[in-house]
Structure 1
């Protein structure tokens, strides 16, 4: 998939070096095709890294995609330059008059807070409510998934005694679901969170379907029956070294943190970790774009 991104976006040069198909606006406008419009609400602190991770995964299909990034107006991120936000980001007020084929809501390092205590919770709920009429399908990642389950379905999170961090095995329980077409019956997925969603709460809800199970990590993929919401409880977009960097960061803070499970070769944090979830990450994103966005969205919005 050619990703239509601004020439100056830092992620562009990284993706081009990886031979990812990048297209600028000038070339995109010469093609007689309507690109999918995807809105990304980026709540992660290291926004430039998350931009690269998500754009990489959105690249793996023949569809053309146009991406808008938005950030919260009610909270100012401390880990990104104001100039970067001004150049590449909009706010909800800037886009609320538009309609989008798909939306992604990322994770956020605020799991220890009750949802209503989050500084930008009212802004998040306004965006999720707006999306009901203005977005064909939304994909929610980690805290974004928990927020969607709470807001749309009344399912709350449970705190953990220790952070869940590592690579965990999952078994498909709904292998015929469109989202997991092409994925092995067992697959690996990265997790990094301090809270859980209980599988029993998902299974009891009449509007939700868990697609997998894991004894240690719980459900990873949850789909609403109307296909409007995809919830990913982990971080399938992470790079190979992201969990290692988080682990070392937490150690330097003096936190009581466990080494990521099943992550470092030979269980030695001095060894460089390998990306063992890349193929399923690409499949999940391309399946979402194809089956839940492209196949369902109208060619022209009324």
Structure 2
């Protein structure tokens, strides 16, 4: 089933060329089916690229998904035109009175800043707090995951001695977690960050579990006991050349940046990178949409505000 997007969204051309199942809004409105309402808080500077990456994953399920992109009103984007934002993005104030089946909060290249020094931190906190009663399940990515863990569970991020940069193997700790259905016992995923979250800090918090981790990269996936908060510390949405572009950008700036590990054949940056994580990225998003959202969200989203926040009978962590 398709993901529903505006007809003129730039990502449409790329995704249609890849045979991703899309549906324009005018066609979707003629169907007597309630699509899943998914909001995406896109904090990445390369918003168009991130739109394409996320829609590619969200559009690979048997579910119709209606996307609402959100931008921070308290932050002026330097890398995305105001015309694009005006055409395809809403602000939090514009959707505050709505309810959504799911919410995605992306990463942002600001992890070395204390949370309170991020110029849109107060607005993001409003969104995260609002999600507790207005969104059934929220997927937090990379810096977004660190922000969510800090806001909801008081878990501090830590600065790493070296950038966590590359593709790393992860092992499953909770094999019966529905969000990991169909995963191999060991699976790869990309990381690109200067900060991290200690597993022991998550273990010490109430109501949250570590589901997958890496000996090299640490915690990769954690979830609340009721499945309404999913935290992913890496970037499964990355394309084959995203780490390459980041590496080349930093090298061109004269930075002492490490070669992304386990990404180029033989860790040789003159070689074309290998894509080893794509199937698990599709599976993660499909599982989130199916098990955390579609199977459990009320048909009447108005019931979200009165629903009890406890583990459902059909949720397994």
1:113-156 per-residue CA deviation (whole Å, 9 max, x = no partner) reads: 00011100000000001111100000000000000000000001
Q: Which residue matches 1:225?
A: 225
CA distance, structure 2, for counterparts of residue 206 and residue 99 of structure 1: 26
C-alpha displacement of 1:205:
1.5
Moved over 4 A (4+): none
C-alpha displacement of 1:203:
1.4
CA distance, structure 1, for counterparts of residue 112 and residue 14 of structure 2: 33
CA distance, structure 2, for counterparts of residue 290 and residue 281 of structure 1: 14
TM-score (norm 2): 0.94
Q: Does 1:118 align with 2:110?
A: no
Q: Which residue matches 1:210?
A: 210
Q: Which residue matches 1:32?
A: 32
Q: Which residue matches 1:248?
A: 248
1:237-290 per-residue CA deviation (whole Å, 9 max, x = no partner) reads: 000100011011111122221110100012211111121101100010000000
Partner SS, residue 76 of structure 2 = coil
Q: How does 1:99-110 map to 2 (within 5 A)?
A: 99-110=99-110
Q: Which residue matches 2:19?
A: 19
1:157-197 per-residue CA deviation (whole Å, 9 max, x = no partner) reads: 00012211000011111011000000000000100000010
Structure 2: tracts of 5 or more residues without a match: 303-317
Q: Which residue matches 1:143?
A: 143
TM-score (norm 1): 0.99
C-alpha displacement of 1:210:
0.6
CA distance, structure 2, for counterparts of residue 298 and residue 288 of structure 1: 16
Q: Does the 8 Å CA contact 1:162/1:257 hold for their aligned counterparts?
A: no
1:80-105 per-residue CA deviation (whole Å, 9 max, x = no partner) reads: 11110010011101110100000000
Q: How does 1:42-191 map to 2 (within 5 A)?
A: 42-191=42-191
1:50-80 per-residue CA deviation (whole Å, 9 max, x = no partner) reads: 0000000001211100000010010111001
Structure 1: tracts of 5 or more residues without a match: none
Partner SS, residue 146 of structure 1 = helix
Tell me the C-alpha RMSD between the 2 structures: 0.8
CA distance, structure 1, for counterparts of residue 10 and residue 252 of structure 2: 28
C-alpha displacement of 1:206:
2.2
Q: What is the aligned length?
A: 302
Q: Does the 8 Å CA contact 2:101/2:301 hold for their aligned counterparts?
A: no
